[in-house]
Structure 1
Amino acid sequence: MSMAASSPQTADRETGVTGSVSLQGLTKSFGEFTAVRDLDLHVAPGEFLSMLGPSGSGKTTVLRIIAGFEEATAGRVLLSGKDVTRTPPHARDVNTVFQDYALFPHMSIADNVGYGLRVKGAGKAERAAQVTEALGRVRLDHVADRLPHQLSGGQRQRIALARALILRPQVLLLDEPLGALDKQLREQMQIELKQIQREVGITFIFVTHDQEEALTLSDRVAVFNNGRIEQIGSAREVYENPQTEFVARFLGLSNLIAGDLAAELTGEARTMSIRPERVRMQASDAPLGDGEVGLLGTISEIVYTGPATRFLVASDAGVDVIAEQPNSHRPGGTAPRRGDRVRVSWDPSNAASLP
Structure 2
Amino acid sequence: MTQTSTDRSEQARPGPAGVSGAPAAVALRGVHKRFGDFTAVADLDLDVPAGEFFSMLGPSGSGKTTVLRMIAGFERPTAGTILLDGADVTRTAPFDRDVNTVFQDYALFPHLSIAANVAYGLRVRKVGKAARAERVTRALEKVRLAHLAERMPHQLSGGQRQRVALARALILEPKVLLLDEPLGALDKQLREEMQVELKQIQRDVGITFVFVTHDQEEALTLSDRVAVFDNGRIEQVGSPGDVYEFPATEFVAGFLGVSNLIPAEQARQLLGVDAAISIRPERVRLVPAGTAAAPAETAVPGTVVETVYTGPSTRYIVQSRSGLRLIAAVHNDHRPGSRAPIARGEEVLAVWTSDHVATIPSS
**Could you tell me the TM-score, scaled by structure 2's length?**
0.94
Q: 1:217–1:122: structure 2 CA closer, same or farther, 3 Å change rule? A: same
Instruction: Report the counterpart of residue 104 of structure 2 in structure 1.
Output: 99
Corresponding position: 1:250 with 2:259: no
Instruction: Report the counterpart of residue 78 of structure 2 in structure 1.
Output: 73
Contact 1:279 1:346 in 2 (8 A): yes
Q: For residues 4 and 172 of structure 1, what CA distance do their matches in structure 2 show?
A: 23
How many percent of aligned residue pairs carry the same amino acid? 63
- 1:267 deviates by 1.2
Q: 1:145–1:334: structure 2 CA closer, same or farther, 3 Å change rule? A: closer
Corresponding position: 1:152 with 2:157: yes
Deviations 1:56-106, CA, capped at 9 Å, x for gaps: 000000000000000100000000000000000000000000001011111
- 1:334 deviates by 5.4
In structure 1, what residue type is equivalent to 2:294?
Answer: G
Q: For residues 274 and 244 of structure 1, what CA distance do their matches in structure 2 show?
A: 13
Q: For residues 214 and 8 of structure 1, what CA distance do their matches in structure 2 show?
A: 22
Instruction: Report the counterpart of residue 6 of structure 1 in structure 2.
Output: 15
- 1:8 deviates by 8.5
User: Comparing 334-343 with 292-301, which one deviates more in the overlay?
Assistant: 334-343
Instruction: Report the counterpart of residue 178 of structure 2 in structure 1.
Output: 173
Contact 1:116 1:167 in 2 (8 A): yes
Segments of 4+ moved more than 3 angstroms? 7-12
Q: For residues 329 and 85 of structure 1, what CA distance do their matches in structure 2 show?
A: 58
Q: 1:154–1:140: structure 2 CA closer, same or farther, 3 Å change rule? A: same
Q: For residues 44 and 65 of structure 1, what CA distance do their matches in structure 2 show?
A: 18
- 1:327 deviates by 1.1
Contact 1:5 1:233 in 2 (8 A): no
Report the 3-state secondary structure (helix = DSSP H, G, I; strand = E; otherwise coil) of the residue aligned with 1:324.
Answer: strand
Bigger RCO (CA 8 Å, 6+ sep): 2
Q: For residues 318 and 271 of structure 2, what CA distance do their matches in structure 1 show?
A: 20
Q: For residues 46 and 91 of structure 1, what CA distance do their matches in structure 2 show?
A: 21
Report the 3-state secondary structure (helix = DSSP H, G, I; strand = E; otherwise coil) of the residue aligned with 2:144.
Answer: coil
Instruction: Report the counterpart of residue 221 of structure 1 in structure 2.
Output: 226
Contact 2:334 2:341 in 1 (8 A): no
1:233 to 235, 238, 241: 238
1:262 to 263, 267, 280: 267
1:347 to 326, 349, 353: 353
- 1:345 deviates by 1.1
Q: For residues 7 and 181 of structure 1, what CA distance do their matches in structure 2 show?
A: 33
Instruction: Report the counterpart of residue 139 of structure 1 in structure 2.
Output: 144
1:121 to 102, 126, 134: 126
Q: For residues 53 and 65 of structure 1, what CA distance do their matches in structure 2 show?
A: 17
Deviations 1:260-285, CA, capped at 9 Å, x for gaps: 21111111121110000000101111
Contact 1:11 1:44 in 2 (8 A): no
Q: 1:8–1:300: structure 2 CA closer, same or farther, 3 Å change rule? A: farther
Q: For residues 313 and 326 of structure 1, what CA distance do their matches in structure 2 show?
A: 16
Q: For residues 203 and 334 of structure 1, what CA distance do their matches in structure 2 show?
A: 46
In structure 2, what residue type is equivalent to 1:259?
Answer: A
Instruction: Report the counterpart of residue 204 of structure 1 in structure 2.
Output: 209
Q: For residues 259 and 101 of structure 1, what CA distance do their matches in structure 2 show?
A: 47
- 1:51 deviates by 0.1
Deviations 1:287-331, CA, capped at 9 Å, x for gaps: 112311121111111111111111011111211100011112322
RMSD: 1.2
User: Comparing 164-173 with 144-153, which one deviates more in the overlay?
Assistant: 144-153
Report the 3-state secondary structure (helix = DSSP H, G, I; strand = E; otherwise coil) of the residue aligned with 1:205.
Answer: strand
Contact 1:298 1:339 in 2 (8 A): yes
Instruction: Report the counterpart of residue 23 of structure 1 in structure 2.
Output: 28
Instruction: Report the counterpart of residue 6 of structure 2 in structure 1.
Output: none
In structure 2, what residue type is equivalent to 1:177?
Answer: P
Contact 2:17 2:47 in 1 (8 A): no
Q: For residues 174 and 242 of structure 1, what CA distance do their matches in structure 2 show?
A: 25
Q: For residues 187 and 146 of structure 1, what CA distance do their matches in structure 2 show?
A: 25
Structure 2 portions without partners, runs of 5+: 1-8
1:38 to 43, 46, 57: 43
Contact 2:278 2:360 in 1 (8 A): yes
- 1:7 deviates by 3.2
Contact 1:22 1:78 in 2 (8 A): yes
Contact 1:299 1:342 in 2 (8 A): yes
Q: For residues 334 and 271 of structure 1, what CA distance do their matches in structure 2 show?
A: 32
Contact 1:295 1:317 in 2 (8 A): no
